[in-house]
Amino acid sequence: MNSFFPRRYVIQGIFIAIALVLLLRLFYIQVIDKSYLLSAKDNVLRRIPIFPARGLILDRTGKVLVQNEPVYDLMVIPKEVKPFDTLEFCRLIGIDKVAFDKKFQKAIRYSRYTSSIFEKQLSAVTYAAFQEKLYEYPGFYVVNRSVRFYPDSIAAQFLGYIGEVSERDIEKSGGFYRKGDYIGKTGVEKSYEELLRGQRGVQQLMVDAFNRPKGHFADGRYDTIAVSGERLISSLDKNLQKFGEQLMVNKIGSIVAIEPSSGEILAFVSSPSYNPNLMVGRQRGKNYNKLNTDPLKPMFIRPIQAEYPPGSIFKVINALLGQQFGLIKPDTRFFCGGGYYYGGSRPMKCTHVHGSSDLARSIQVSCNTYYGNVYAAMIDRSGMRPVNGFKRWREGVAKFNIGSRLDIDLPHERKGLLPTDSLYTKRYRSDKWRSGYNISLSIGQGELGITPLQMANVAATVANRGFFYKPHLVKAIGEKKFIKPEYTKKNYVGVDEKHFEPVIQGMSMVVNQFPGTATYSAIHNIEICGKTGTVQNPHGDDHSVFFAFAPRNNPKIAIAVVVENGGHGSTWAAPIASLLIEKYLTDSTKRDKYYLERILKGNLLPRPKVAPKPAPVKKPDSTSNKQKPKPATTNKIAILRND
């Protein structure tokens, strides 16, 4: 039997199998497995991203609020790293060996062949020292970028901050962002991110085996330039903002000032605040954790997120609605004997016995009795069922944008609280309740919750005699100074212009005529029209509230001030508002030294709680068994303070 032919087929099969294995391996290396391609390409070409300068943010007069400064990100390609002196390397960039090992392992987990950030935001000084020895560390290179710098360290909650993108940010961007990019996290930086960020560029550089650049690939034909972000002109007045923050040092609260004729926000103060430069640089994470755990909550944006009962400033809205519904007139008078009685003998007390008051005087002296009667007229004596009278009242209040967002150009605005009739129907298990069941709404207490921004917007609405422009923080965008159309539209509140004059007269008397509740805050030659509020606080001292506009004719500024635990509106909020009005309208303050220093040095922060000392243990003595006389008892009489 001839076995040559079977052996020939076996030998051919072996060669064919070997050839197929080699072909499959070659196909895998060249087509499927990218590691060799990446390694070869990275040995020759380096794709360097060029990060654009983020758009500047200016105040309304062109002064810089936010600018950029250069920093340097240290990148690494783990596959190219060769043994080197790690201790010297760590010394140059300011980290320890433990941190080095942790960062290098993280880079390896990301990719051995693709570059990733090893250390972020080296300063110019650190980079200058490191650059001289960069050639000793193959696999490492530097990418320059810019970060934010805040020259005046003001308006932190308004401006916001930027941070590294998350996986979710990358997914939502449709591929625009990459790992290591930065994005606006809060404030205007977040609201206007797409305009501020600009467009990334890229350089294709050829490098040698020592990691040294050897010029642009194909003479730069494949390079793209970075496009800087758009410049934003904010509505803030830098000097007014700075002064407002000084006045609110060691106080908790808010200031919002608006230009009534445009809706542009002139000052946006949230206190306590923080230095926005703390959210930049290599210590950002540490600083963020410290700020985020601060019990005073400096990162809480109080002007749009804090909700308070408005207190007596709400009487202005009730006065306007009472007239619009035809239930009171400017000369309507109610007698105040010290309080408004409802539900039998229960009083809603006044600060004084005001006697007979008309509409303007009721605002001047802030008479609770007057507005108890006005509210009862709107709910109980409206010619309809009380529940329907309440619905009409609520619709009127809602037109002032109470209980709904004003859609300011900042994220996370809260809408406040405006109770519905169903709340009381559920609470009292019937829809036959009357004004006495929620009479506290007549004086801005109870279930109402209003943000300081909404308060300032009501002041601007009264200043405009019945309409407002949507409040906003960015005045214009880019070189062409584009203005969003929604900021030029008048929003009417459904109250006739004629009804505002008696209310404005009362607000003028609050500040400029005795016995107005804020005469201490009057300014010579400037007619301020305002209203004080003392907001009940179940957790401590009352909150001090004041809103106003000035001058009376052709108003230039409307303002709301809230000082938590500040007591009467005339004690803290009104003087602060008065100083800011004077500063804005005259570019100076001419009050006596004590007036200004009292505000600047006032400290209303809560005192730290001190643990009580344990009572000393008394040693027993021989007389301890003797019966001791009982202390005399006294009748305890509850005294209700009448503020």
CB atoms within 10 A of CB 411: 16
Task: Indicate whether 584 belongs to any domain.
Answer: yes
Tokens describing residue 42: 């990275």
| Per-residue pLDDT tens over the stretch 339-362 | 998 876 678 999 899 999 999 999
Report d(CA 115, CA 580) in Å as an integer: 52
**209 and 262 inside one domain:** no
pLDDT attached to residue 523? 96
**11 and 85 inside one domain:** no
- Helix residue ranges per DSSP H, 77-176: 86-93, 97-110, 124-131, 156-159, 167-172
Tally of domains within the chain: 3
The residues with which 347 forms a beta bridge, in sequence order, are 341
Q: 61 CB contacts (<8 Å, ≥6 apart)? A: 237, 238
Tokens describing residue 171: 């997914």
Task: Answer whether 551's CB lies under 8 Å from 526's CB.
Answer: yes
Q: Which of 315, 440, 325, 436 is nearest to 370 (CA)?
A: 315
**215 and 312 inside one domain:** no
Mean pLDDT of the chain: 88
The amino acid that residue 639 corresponds to is I
Total number of residues shown for the chain: 643
**309 and 206 inside one domain:** no
Task: Indicate whether 608 belongs to any domain.
Answer: no
Task: Indicate whether 511 belongs to any domain.
Answer: yes
Task: Answer whether 520's CB lies under 8 Å from 509's CB.
Answer: no
Task: Indicate whether 552 belongs to any domain.
Answer: yes
**397 and 415 inside one domain:** yes
Report d(CA 310, CA 452) in Å as an integer: 9
Q: 633 CB contacts (<8 Å, ≥6 apart)? A: none
Report d(CA 448, CA 547) in Å as an integer: 17
Task: Answer whether 154's CB lies under 8 Å from 65's CB.
Answer: yes
DSSP 225-293: --BPPPPEEES--HHHHHHHHHHTTT--EEEEEEETTTTEEEEEEEES---GGGGSSTTHHHHHHHHHT
Task: Indicate whether 293 belongs to any domain.
Answer: no
Report d(CA 36, CA 428) in Å as an integer: 76
Report d(CA 568, CA 351) in Å as an integer: 11
Task: Indicate whether 388 belongs to any domain.
Answer: yes
| Per-residue pLDDT tens over the stretch 165-183 | 988 998 888 888 888 788 9
Tokens describing residue 331: 């000369």
**197 and 324 inside one domain:** no
3-state helix, strand, coil in the chain (%, to 5): 40, 20, 40
**15 and 159 inside one domain:** no
**116 and 16 inside one domain:** no
Domain around 359: 238-287+302-601
The number of angstroms, rounded, from the C-alpha of 281 to the middle of its chain's C-alpha atoms is: 21
Reduced to 3 states (helix: H, G, I; strand: E, B; else coil), residue 156 is: helix
Task: Answer whether 394's CB lies under 8 Å from 318's CB.
Answer: no
**486 and 507 inside one domain:** yes
Instruction: Report residue 291: phi and psi, to 5°.
Output: -65, -40
Sign, CA dihedral 396-402-406-412, equals negative
- Asked which of 191, 207, 234 is the last residue of a domain, the reply is 234
CATH number, residue 533: 3.40.710.10
The number of angstroms, rounded, from the C-alpha of 487 to the middle of its chain's C-alpha atoms is: 20
CATH number, residue 101: 3.90.1310.10
CB atoms within 10 A of CB 61: 10
Q: What is the 3-state secondary structure (H, E, C) of 282-344?
A: CCHHHHHHHHHCCCCCCCCCHHHHCCECCHHHHHHHHHHHHHHCCCCCCCCCEEECCEEEECC
| Per-residue pLDDT tens over the stretch 549-566 | 999 999 999 999 999 999
Q: Which residue has the tokens 């001047």?
A: 364
Tokens describing residue 15: 């060669």
Task: Indicate whether 615 belongs to any domain.
Answer: no
Q: Which residue has the tokens 């060691």?
A: 250
Report d(CA 370, CA 407) in Å as an integer: 34
Residues 160-193: b if buried by 16+ CB within 10 A, e if exposed: bbbbbbeeebbeebeeebeebbbbbbbbbbbbbb
CB atoms within 10 A of CB 65: 23
**200 and 248 inside one domain:** no
pLDDT attached to residue 211? 57
- Cα distances (Å, whole numbers) of residue 255 to 310, 445, 518, 546, 547: 14, 21, 18, 10, 10
**283 and 405 inside one domain:** yes
Task: Answer whether 566's CB lies under 8 Å from 541's CB.
Answer: yes
**185 and 269 inside one domain:** no
pLDDT attached to residue 129? 87
Beta strands in 465-542 (DSSP E): 467-469, 474-477, 490-492, 529-535
Residue ranges of the chain with per-residue pLDDT less than 50: 38, 621-643
Tokens describing residue 248: 């609110």
The amino acid that residue 469 corresponds to is Y
Task: Indicate whether 639 belongs to any domain.
Answer: no
